[in-house]
Structure 1
Amino acid sequence: MRLAGIDLGNDSIKIVYDGTNEPITVPNIVTPGYDRHIFQEEDAPHKALDVTVYSPALTLNNRRWFVGQLATELEDSSELEETDNKALSDQSLIVALTALAYSGITAPSYSPPSYSQADEVELVIGTGLPVRTYAKYRESFEQRLVGEHEIVFHSTPQLHGRKVKLRIRKAVVSIEGAAAIFNLATHDNLQVRDEEIYGGVIGVCEIGALTTDLPVIRRMAIDNHFSYGEQMGLANYLDPIRREVEDQFGYAFPSRAKLAQRIKQREFVIQRIGEGQATIKPIVDTYFSRAAVRIVDLIKKRWKKCPDIQCFYVIGGGAAALKPYLIEAAGPVKLRFVPDSELQNVLGYVKVARSRMNQGAFAEMTN
């Protein structure tokens, strides 16, 4: 039985296994599956996740789906919207179970059972929910994850026809942002790494695709009074960027994920019909500057309400994308950024789950 952290981001699902810091990332995007015409097989399984998923928690059961990168290329793909709740979302669960099954059976340490026709993966997982949904949905979220699920791979390279029985024995749910601070404060063995973070009052701004969470961590415990979440994230700005690019240049990004990938790689030049090219950077700059101003305003308001906050960490995938814009918008207000910002939560989920399993000193973070 392995221990894994899984970050069910609205833009992508990230998985890290205990003992490794190498993430597995699958875009949180699906489209109904079908028998594909394959002219050349993809060179890696994660590029063509084609599955049928069964789970007691799913409304749409035993359906075939294209998941992740394969779905990002298709115009009828589904991405999560502001009205979606990841604790209750079928789509997030489909992507999460697919990613766990795929990563479980492709891990170097995996050995298939000799007594069964199906692959078997048994896990304890750590995961998280936004501040605003944590209290109300934590229990139901745990119940949806825990249990036995079944994933069958179809046209996925190297995994054709393999059936995976995925057993999740326990799910430890933390608050997004808080788990990241736990990761920054501790070593892999859970001993204290940073006394300032461990013993201080720390503000966090965790910028996701659809939510921005601002928990306040007081000596490694969540401050119930000052912690706050906003139903706003990077997607609020990526969608209008897509529309404006199409209006100006006639170039349509098939999904939010494809645009986000371009921006992350700093590839702003697009190919127009004919042989012309254009840059979308001015459009990105306009919308990301607006996003930064709004987020810095949220941070300042939180700091004013809770003046005990010693420093503010800005983390998450949105922090990595918006960093230069946030620094400019913040002016003299110092904000703290960390490397691998988008991985801090998932690394923290592994540690929180391990501390809970060990009945460690920090288990109160998930209470």
Structure 2
Amino acid sequence: MSQSRIAAVDVGNDSVKAIFGELDQEFNIPNITARDIEDRPVIGIEELDQKDPLEGIHIRVHSPALQENNAIYRVGHLASKSTNSTELDPGSGKSQEDQTLIMLFASIALDAAKANKTGSNNVIDANYTLGTGLPLREVKEGKDAGYRSKLLGSVHQVEFLVTPKYQGIKVNIKFDEVKVYPEGFAAYINLVMDHDLKIINKDLIDKRILIQDIGGLSTDIAVIKNRTVDDDKAQGFNLGVSESLENIREEIFSNHGVEVDSRRDVVEIITRNNDRNHIMVKGSRTSVHDITDRILMELAKKQYRLLRNVWQKNSQTEICYFVGGGSNVLKEYIKTLNNNLDGFNIEFFEDDKESIWMMANAYYKLLSEFTKKTEKLKEEKKTVKKS
């Protein structure tokens, strides 16, 4: 595939949200990996092609960008069933972790395998224009430049091993361009523009606003005025929901003897519509409300303190939007605190999907604008040459 395809990939701490092409493909894959020493055994090999590839991502990844090259991984749902699965640790930097790259390459390889016919040698050469993001803290530390250069100028190969439909396919990924955006700014773009880059929120465009993006490992608070992010006042904090979700997992195990597979499953227990904050213990429906309420309220207080401190320094702020998967988990607790305390003008997205997909959508919009401008410049150069 010679023409460059758009890939907007948000490697969130809970899951990877990725949008491709002309909005013709999207994936949501749990951000969990597990190292494999050898090819995994397959039960019912003849049924492999009947299954969803997302349920059985099993790959070997070869890339000079990785610290551990040429290793085999189970990814996403398949990894969550492994005893040695890993999720990103609190305190780790997204730009420094192999896991971030493995998830990025896996999602792109899945798109390439679905969007292309393989040649006789089962190899796909795939070119992409990538839009992705890093927490504000890492961008302010200048980590975005190193992350971008790791991706550009090299070929990254993903080989599908025992993966439904794609077993034996190798995808060579090359990036024609990589744009790394600060996550808070991306959220703002998504609030004010639609996919055709038309302004959809005129009320918001000239307001002074904060965007508090609560992730798994970090929280960004973007300060926006005059339609741009104030880089000096915007702040990134090393505080996310992962540690609290891990604590809930551990307490459920120690109090009830029930092992919850992953943080993502904890989120499911906390946020689902039916039987929220309940688990099954030996076949009986059991409340874990006491555990979740105590731990999440403690975290909500810390998040509220961050909001209060940033708002004090930006006293003319008109509204704060809470975005990201962590906001989804803490929504009711932060609302309760705000009602009882300062009464700031804050807003959450009631549509969980909108909040969760916000970053990927923003990267897509920013990338679309970039590619349109690039094409326009190319056309103008051609016209100048002809004349």
TM norm structure 2: 0.87
> Which residue is 1:201 aligned to?
208
Distance 1:125 1:161 in 2: 25
Change (3 A) 1:203 1:195: same
Aligned counterpart for 2:16 among listed residues 9, 13, 16: 13
Distance 2:231 2:292 in 1: 36
**TM-superposed deviation, 1:115:** 7.1
Deviation sequence 1:125-156 (CA, Å, 0-9, x none): 11111111103201011112223211111111
Change (3 A) 1:164 1:344: same
> Which residue is 2:224 aligned to?
217
> For this pair of structures, how many residues does the alignment match?
356
What SS is found at the alignment partner of 1:7? strand
What SS is found at the alignment partner of 1:239? helix
Could you list the runs of 5+ residues in structure 1 that have no partner in the other structure? 361-367
**TM-superposed deviation, 1:20:** 2.3
Amino acid at match of 2:278: V
> Which residue is 1:350 aligned to?
364
Q: CA RMSD, aligned part only?
A: 2.0
Change (3 A) 1:18 1:312: farther
Distance 2:106 2:132 in 1: 16
Greater alpha carbon shift after TM alignment, 33-42 vs 5-14: 33-42
Change (3 A) 1:206 1:352: same
Distance 1:261 1:160 in 2: 31
What SS is found at the alignment partner of 1:336? strand
What SS is found at the alignment partner of 1:174? strand
> Which residue is 1:30 aligned to?
33
Identity %: 26
Aligned counterpart for 2:280 among listed residues 271, 278, 284: 271
Distance 2:248 2:66 in 1: 33
Distance 1:142 1:224 in 2: 20
Distance 2:264 2:194 in 1: 33
> Which residue is 2:256 aligned to?
249
**TM-superposed deviation, 1:22:** 6.3
5 Å-filtered alignment, 1:316-331, equals: 316-331=324-339
Change (3 A) 1:144 1:262: farther
Could you list the runs of 5+ residues in structure 2 that have no partner in the other structure? 375-387
5 Å-filtered alignment, 1:112-191, equals: 112=117, 114=119, 117-135=122-140, 136-146=142-152, 147-191=154-198
Distance 2:336 2:55 in 1: 37
Are the counterparts in 1 of residues 195 and 365 from structure 2 also a CA contact under 8 Å? yes
Are the counterparts in 1 of residues 193 and 199 from structure 2 also a CA contact under 8 Å? yes
Distance 2:25 2:310 in 1: 33
**TM-superposed deviation, 1:114:** 4.5
**TM-superposed deviation, 1:18:** 4.8
Greater alpha carbon shift after TM alignment, 209-218 vs 288-297: 288-297
Asked if 1:89 corresponds to 2:97, the answer is yes
Change (3 A) 1:111 1:239: closer
Greater alpha carbon shift after TM alignment, 140-149 vs 174-183: 140-149
Distance 2:269 2:174 in 1: 36
> Which residue is 1:363 aligned to?
none
Change (3 A) 1:276 1:200: closer
Are the counterparts in 2 of residues 105 and 121 from structure 1 also a CA contact under 8 Å? no
Structure whose alpha-carbon radius of gyration is higher: 2
Amino acid at match of 2:166: L
> Which residue is 2:346 aligned to?
335
What SS is found at the alignment partner of 1:78? coil
Distance 1:63 1:261 in 2: 30
Deviation sequence 1:251-303 (CA, Å, 0-9, x none): 12232233223334355332334x44422233112222222222122112111
> Which residue is 1:261 aligned to?
268
What SS is found at the alignment partner of 2:252? helix
**TM-superposed deviation, 1:195:** 1.9
Asked if 1:240 corresponds to 2:243, the answer is no
Amino acid at match of 2:113: I
